[in-house]
Amino acid sequence: MEKQVKLLQGNEACVEGAVMAGVRFFGGYPITPSTEIAEGMARRLPLLGGRFMQMEDEIASMASIIGASCAGAKSMTATSGPGFSLMQENLGYAYITETPCVIVNVQRGGPSTGLPTKVSQADTMQAGFGTHGDYRAIALAPSGVEEILYQTIEAVNLSEMYRTPVVLLLDEVTAHMREKVMIPSPEDVDVKQRRKPTVPPDWYKHFEISPTGVSPMAAFGDGYRFNITGLTHDQVGFPTAVSSEIVAMLDKLRDKIVKNAEDICDYELTEMDDDPKVAIVSYGIVARAAKQAVMMARDQRLKVGAVRPKTIWPLAVNRLRKLLKPVRKLIVAELNQGQLINMIKHHVDRRHTEIIPLQRYDGELITPAQILNKIKEVKHHGTQV
Amino acid sequence: MELKSDVIHQYLRPKKKFPHVWCSGCGLGVILGSMIRSIHSLDIPKDDVVVCSGIGCSSRLPVYVDFNTLHTTHGRAIAFATGVKVAKPRLKVIVVTGDGDCLAIGGNHFIHACRRNIDITVILANNWIYGMTGGQFSPTTPTEKFGSTAPYGNIEQPFNPCDLAISAGASYVARSTVYHVDQLDKMITGALNKRGFSVVEVLSNCHTYFGRLNKEGDPVTMLNYFKKHALPVQAWDKVPEEKRAGKFVTGLLHDVEKDEYCDNYEKLVERLQAKMESK
Ligand SMILES: Cc1ncc(C[n+]2csc(CCOP(=O)(O)OP(=O)(O)O)c2C)c(N)n1
Ligand code: SF4
């Protein structure tokens, strides 16, 4: 089949990606600005023999997709701020039970009901640390409609490969804007499946500590008859209070993400080849403005670059440090009061690199002109950079 | 004749570290036995049974039995079970839950599952109290009874779980107690056999908290209470209102045929696929 070109809204691209990645169960509850994803799944899934369920709330939505995944289905939900908050307890259950599933959070202004129809990136931290306890999250952050399609596929793939929930962090603008999308033909899409056990049922351990750090996963009805619990458990899946087993379980949740961070996380670089001393870090919709600002700055012979993490949890820290080594002044632009900036501060050598915030949280976008102004302001201060 | 306990042993987890977490004399063990006998009597393969639960003493039950078991978060078992069932409708999905788990924190999921009439069996262990957290009053604690958070007596009105299930749309609703074991086996077997949402409310003794806080004593005293105050539905329907006072009705209270959720979804898919083929 040939590649198809379509004009799609971000939320529609997410539906296309989900279907291509093999999602066949969706449980959700309507909320602006994510509703088009539920509507799209309600249309598409029954045609493919899949199942769409409108649940009674987001708590149930999250529960249903975990249940479906335990039964072997690739599953997904989509929501926004208030719904994402309601999902947190069961999201934690997905982390501790290592159950693959995808949660799309189309960010809007908060806290609480906040700004339902306005753009925001104020759930950046929540996407990584929203539920209680120790765990490591994966959260992807596309910045355009076509990328939403590909990152939805990637989110499903990562959830299957690492047996973990994956958050796809969109925002009101990317979710609702329309762009040209090249829809790949199915044979060009790399679709991953969770590893199934090969051992006989008697030997099966649902949470086995394996060399890859990820346990094979049987589904209910496959003949394995195992226990899944949200209590801290041993490798077989029974509740435990033994120190060594507690630590082993928590280390496993951490290590499978941390040790693979450099594989999971990817960056898009703009004009970073000539070692600019001023750069912008931003993600999602803001990174588009940053890219534009860099182009405008270069036209004015200002040496500036931009780094965009495509995955904000986890960051590939080693690569980030290397990338930012020549940078003396780093602008961190985001649609909140400063969340990404704290992660960046944590990883960058601040004796060497000054970190400068550019924040907007009035429900409007940061414009390229705003970023360009910041670049000029930064350039005029202090040393020749 | 096979001993009741022999059957049970065939279904307990060989690898599970016993002893269990329950107080000795707790009614929950009787419910575990009854559930196993009912599954056994229907010859349902272990591999096809999924037992889900929330959090509570009652919700610990799945961990001990040799099926596919999903011990979830407090109140949410029915929502998890819904995902399991819809993703793999051939599985026999059972939810074991408590009065707090099912009717307080999980009340919304319960009524919506009734409304959908999805083919899941709920075994609701009603001990009128929050056992696991130490005896706080629950949505079924009778007015004036004591709980650790109702030290002067409960001023709230309790739910009647069976009435709630019937009015919310469940297709099979029954009540029994841990004293009336033969009836309980029958009710659970009937529920498992029903295509649709089925609820069996089982009155169960939590002597450790409800019994102690209300001076209603040890397991035997509490079982005697169930024995004396249960009125089978056949008798209940005949006696005048005054004779029902202080008693509760047991047996099969509601059994109707209606469309089941997974069947309806399957029909929808078939209809859409036929339409696509004819295009
Ligand atoms: C979200 C959440 N809130 C509160 C609790 C604490 N909690 C655990 S069990 C329980 C009550 C259980 O009562 P019930 O469902 O009646 O079961 P029983 O222990 O009586 O069998 C509560 C409140 C919890 N685990 N999770
Ligand atoms: S606290 Fe009550 S419900 Fe819990 S095990 Fe003990 S007797 Fe049973």
Q: How many domains does chain B have?
A: 1
Whether residue A275 sits in one domain with residue A175:
no
Whether residue A168 sits in one domain with residue A312:
no
Are B179 and B223 in contact, with CB atoms under 8 Å apart?
Answer: yes
Taking contacts as CB-CB distances below 8 angstroms, the residues of chain A near B65 are none
Whether residue A143 sits in one domain with residue A14:
yes
Per-residue CA distances from B143 to A221, A299, B177, B218 (Å) = 44, 78, 20, 21
Residues of chain A with a CB closer than 8 angstroms to some CB in chain B:
24-25, 27, 46-47, 49, 51, 53, 55-57, 59-60, 63-73, 75, 89-90, 93, 219-231, 236, 238-239
The answer to whether the CB of B55 is under 6 A from ligand 1 is yes
Query: At how many degrees (to 10) do helices A58-70 and A81-96 cross?
Result: 30
| Confidence check on the interface: ipTM exceeds 0.90, yes or no | yes
- Token digits for B13? 């987890």
Give the start-end residues of each E strand in A116-253: 138-140, 165-171, 178-183, 227-229
> Which residues are CB-contacts of A358 (< 8 A; sequence separation ≥ 6)?
A280, A331, A332, A333, A334, A366, A370, A371, A374
State how far the Cα of A151 lies from the Cα of A148, in Å rounded to an integer: 5
Determine the Cα angle at A114 with ends A109 and A119, to 5°: 20
Whether residue A32 lies inside any domain: the answer is yes
Are A32 and A117 in contact, with CB atoms under 8 Å apart?
Answer: yes
Q: Answer yes or no: is pLDDT of A384 > 80.
A: no
CB contact under 8 A, A225 and B68: yes
CB contact under 8 A, A226 and B108: no
Q: Is B10 on the interface with A (CB under 8 A)?
A: no
CB contact under 8 A, B73 and A70: no
Q: Is B220 on the interface with A (CB under 8 A)?
A: no
Taking contacts as CB-CB distances below 8 angstroms, the residues of chain B near A219 are 88
> Which residues are CB-contacts of A221 (< 8 A; sequence separation ≥ 6)?
A71, A72, B47, B48, B50, B68, B88, B90, B91
Per-residue CA distances from B225 to B201, B220, B222, B229, B244 (Å) = 17, 9, 5, 6, 15
- Token digits for B60? 């610990």
Q: Among A188, A211, A232, where does a domain finish?
A: A188
The answer to whether the CB of B120 is under 6 A from ligand 1 is no
Whether residue A172 sits in one domain with residue A36:
yes
Whether residue A153 sits in one domain with residue A16:
yes
Are A325 and A287 in contact, with CB atoms under 8 Å apart?
Answer: no
The residue type of A221 is: G
pLDDT tens sequence across B205-216:
999 999 999 998
State how far the Cα of A137 lies from the Cα of A127, in Å rounded to an integer: 7
pLDDT tens sequence across A24-45:
999 999 999 999 999 999 999 9
Domain enclosing residue A145, as ranges:
4-188
pLDDT tens sequence across A297-315:
999 999 999 999 999 999 9
Ordered strands of the B198-203 beta sheet: A227-229, B68-71, B49-53, B92-98, B120-126, B198-203, B172-177, B248-255, B230-232
pLDDT tens sequence across A266-276:
999 999 999 99
Whether residue A173 sits in one domain with residue A274:
no
- Mean pLDDT per 10-residue section of chain B, whose length is 279 residues: 76 80 96 97 98 98 97 98 98 98 98 98 98 98 98 98 98 98 98 98 98 94 97 96 94 98 98 91
For the CA of B126, the nearest ligand = 1
Whether residue A279 sits in one domain with residue A162:
no
| Predicted local distance difference test score (pLDDT) of residue B5 | 74
Of A283, A201, A34, whose CA–CA distance to B13 is shortest? A201
Q: Among A188, A213, A229, where does a domain finish?
A: A188
| Predicted local distance difference test score (pLDDT) of residue A351 | 92
Domain enclosing residue B32, as ranges:
4-277
A159 Cα to chain B: minimum distance (Å): 18
Whether residue A34 sits in one domain with residue A139:
yes
pLDDT band for A354, please (50, 70, 90 cuts): very high
Taking contacts as CB-CB distances below 8 angstroms, the residues of chain A near B86 are 25, 51, 53, 64, 68
- Token digits for A303? 């040496």
Q: Answer yes or no: is pLDDT of A194 > 80.
A: yes
| Predicted local distance difference test score (pLDDT) of residue B279 | 81
Nearest residue in chain A measured CA to CA from B266: A49
Q: How many domains does chain A have?
A: 2
Q: Among A158, A188, A218, where does a domain finish?
A: A188
Q: What value does the mean pLDDT take over residues A126-137? A: 98
Q: Answer yes or no: is pLDDT of A1 > 70.
A: no
Looking at residue A129, which CATH number applies to its domain? Answer: 3.40.50.970
The residue type of A133 is: G
State how far the Cα of A376 lies from the Cα of A380, in Å rounded to an integer: 6
* Closest CA to ligand 2's atom 8: B26
Whether residue A195 lies inside any domain: the answer is no
Of B176, B230, B141, whose CA–CA distance to B30 is shortest? B176
Whether residue A138 sits in one domain with residue A26:
yes
Looking at residue B16, which CATH number applies to its domain? Answer: 3.40.50.970
Whether residue A117 sits in one domain with residue A26:
yes
The answer to whether the CB of B57 is under 6 A from ligand 1 is yes
pLDDT tens sequence across A46-103:
999 999 999 999 999 999 999 999 999 999 999 999 999 999 999 999 999 999 999 9
Whether residue A279 lies inside any domain: the answer is yes
Taking contacts as CB-CB distances below 8 angstroms, the residues of chain B near A103 are none
Q: Answer yes or no: is pLDDT of A286 > 90.
A: yes
Q: Answer yes or no: is pLDDT of A210 > 90.
A: yes
DSSP B211: I
> Which residues are CB-contacts of A309 (< 8 A; sequence separation ≥ 6)?
A141, A265, A266, A267, A281, A283, A315, A320
* Closest CA to ligand 2's atom 7: B206
Per-residue CA distances from B62 to A131, A225, B96 (Å) = 25, 11, 8
The answer to whether the CB of B205 is under 6 A from ligand 1 is no
Whether residue A281 lies inside any domain: the answer is yes
- Token digits for A58? 């987001």
The answer to whether the CB of B147 is under 6 A from ligand 1 is no
